[in-house]
């Protein structure tokens, strides 16, 4: 590297999933006594239950809500919820980015539910106050591919008739969530915790459990979606008795991240790191007239998956821009999502160090100059 190039970030991992590992992470620091053992052995169940307990503690999740580890990452968890609970009443699906559109596709083409679909462009939100809560409502708390989020849970009524289904994979561990307003939430460890992919987490409130026990869907359910046995919730799923075989290595990886989070002070510590990172990136954007936020409204702008517009850039330009930075070891995986408007996407979740966000700014200038010069 020539002397004219900026100093490199210490950890140039800005991917929006899987995301950067927690600072100080090493596979050698994982507990390994469970590896090679059955997940149904006493030690396997203990570690799975411990992981669930840590998630509850760090999230501040009330005892009213159950936590289960399920197959298929966030997608598997959300589709499990859709297939087992939808169809009992009308459905409203909200979509302002690609994953919300995926839930619309599932509801329309797979479950054939004829939902009310409420859309907004990338970077925008629809009028949330107009949502009909006589329906079950599907929404994405934090749009990983659009950089826009719901501001809070105030728009969800306490006396709602339908269930609230929140795809919260880029939101949990980064924001305050009013769990009294959430009946179903899903996420994966690979986002804010920097964990491994392949496993989803399903959170059920009491109203969701009631729906599961009282409603039988009209369509067949594959084994990996079945949450009820003989008309009652399969409680073992929420005590570490997983539906299918989990990777205990991935579980230990998640435990490492959760213990790290606990050491920061739990949710408050994680939120502080996310906010510091987002503020550092905001400063970079504000100082450059060729950069802007895709989500214009700061009140609904993501603090985790931050999507940026680059003046005059198309998909080919962004591909070259990201490739230059990757070649230099300055930033990995910062091109925007393939279905989103051409731009950059920079992860600012808690596992990223603020100093690395700050070090990224001069490298963005360098790549801009290389391509525009």
How far, in Å, CA of 9 to CA of 331, rounded?
A: 8
Among 203, 234, 262, where does a domain finish? 262
Residue 366 lies in a domain: yes
Residue 156, pLDDT > 90, answer yes
**Beta-strand relationship, 291-293 and 305-310:** antiparallel
Could you tell me if 53 and 116 lie in one domain?
yes
Overall average pLDDT of the 7-21 stretch: 97
How far, in Å, CA of 184 to CA of 119, rounded?
A: 21
Which residues, other chains included, contact 260 with Cβ-Cβ below 8 Å and sequence gap of 6+?
22, 23, 24, 25
Overall average pLDDT of the 113-123 stretch: 97
Residue 3 lies in a domain: no
Could you tell me if 107 and 200 lie in one domain?
yes
Query: How large a percentage of the chain has pLDDT more than 70?
Result: 99
CATH classification at residue 47? 3.40.640.10
Residue 3, pLDDT > 70, answer no
Overall average pLDDT of the 108-114 stretch: 97
Residue 149 lies in a domain: yes
Could you tell me if 249 and 293 lie in one domain?
no
Could you tell me if 202 and 77 lie in one domain?
yes
Overall average pLDDT of the 205-216 stretch: 98
Q: Provide the β-strand partners of residue 120.
A: none
Could you tell me if 235 and 303 lie in one domain?
no
pLDDT at 1: 42
Residue 67 lies in a domain: yes
Among 262, 286, 305, where does a domain finish? 262
Could you tell me if 39 and 106 lie in one domain?
yes
Could you tell me if 150 and 45 lie in one domain?
yes
Overall average pLDDT of the 335-340 stretch: 93
Residue 57 lies in a domain: yes
Phi, psi dihedral angles at 257 (to 5 degrees) = -65, -40
Could you tell me if 85 and 57 lie in one domain?
yes
What's the Cα-to-Cα distance from 140 to each of 159, 248, 321, 362, rounded to whole Å? 21, 28, 29, 33
Could you tell me if 272 and 257 lie in one domain?
no
Residue 194 lies in a domain: yes
Q: If pLDDT is split at 50, 70 and 90, which confidence band does 2 have? A: very low
Residue 226, pLDDT > 50, answer yes
Phi, psi dihedral angles at 345 (to 5 degrees) = -135, 120
Among 262, 285, 318, where does a domain finish? 262
Residue 149 belongs to domain spanning: 27-262
Q: Provide the β-strand partners of residue 184.
A: 165, 204
Residue 216 lies in a domain: yes
Residue 188, pLDDT > 70, answer yes
What is the per-residue pLDDT across 30-69, written as a single tens digit (0 to 9) for each?
A: 999 999 999 989 999 999 999 999 999 999 999 999 999 9
pLDDT at 373: 75
Could you tell me if 361 and 223 lie in one domain?
no
Strand arrangement of the beta sheet that strand 291-293 belongs to: 291-293, 305-310, 344-347
CATH classification at residue 352? 3.90.1150.10
Domains identified in the chain, total number: 2
Could you tell me if 250 and 344 lie in one domain?
no
Residue 9 lies in a domain: no
Could you tell me if 205 and 312 lie in one domain?
no
């Amino acid at each position: 590297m020539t002397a004219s190039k900026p100093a490199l970030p210490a950890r140039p991992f800005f991917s929006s999933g899987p995301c950067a590992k927690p600072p100080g992470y090493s596979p050698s620091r994982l507990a390994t006594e469970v590896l090679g053992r059955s997940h149904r052995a006493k030690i396997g169940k203990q570690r799975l239950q411990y992981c669930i307990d840590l998630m509850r503690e760090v999230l501040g999740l009330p005892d009213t809500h159950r936590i289960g580890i399920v197959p298929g990452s966030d997608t598997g968890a959300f589709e499990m919820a859709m297939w087992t609970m939808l169809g009992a009443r009308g459905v409203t699906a909200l979509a302002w980015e690609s994953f919300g559109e995926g839930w619309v596709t599932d509801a329309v083409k797979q479950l054939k539910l004829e939902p009310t679909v409420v859309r907004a462009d990338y970077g925008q939100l629809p009028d949330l106050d107009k949502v009909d809560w006589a329906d079950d409502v599907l929404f994405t708390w934090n749009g990983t591919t659009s950089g826009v989020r719901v501001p809070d849970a105030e728009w969800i009524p306490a006396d709602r008739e339908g269930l609230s289904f929140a795809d919260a994979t880029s939101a949990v561990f980064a924001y305050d969530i009013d769990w009294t307003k959430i009946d179903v939430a899903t996420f994966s460890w690979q986002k804010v915790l920097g964990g491994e992919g392949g496993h989803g987490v399903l959170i059920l409130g009491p109203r969701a459990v009631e729906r599961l026990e009282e409603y039988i869907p009209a369509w067949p359910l594959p084994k990996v979606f079945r949450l009820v046995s003989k008309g009652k919730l399969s409680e073992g799923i929420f005590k570490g008795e997983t539906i299918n075989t989990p990777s205990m290595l991935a579980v230990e990886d998640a435990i490492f991240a959760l213990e790290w989070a606990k050491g920061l002070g739990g949710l408050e510590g994680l939120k502080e790191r996310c906010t510091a990172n987002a503020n550092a990136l905001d400063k970079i954007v504000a100082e450059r007239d060729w950069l802007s936020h895709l989500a214009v409204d700061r009140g609904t702008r993501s603090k985790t998956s931050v999507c940026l517009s680059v003046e005059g850039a198309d998909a080919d330009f962004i591909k070259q821009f990201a490739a230059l930075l990757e070649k230099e070891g300055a930033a990995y995986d910062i091109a925007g999502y393939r279905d989103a408007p051409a731009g950059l996407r920079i992860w600012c979740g808690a596992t990223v160090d603020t100093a690395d966000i700050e070090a990224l700014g001069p490298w963005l200038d360098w790549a801009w100059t290389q391509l525009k010069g």
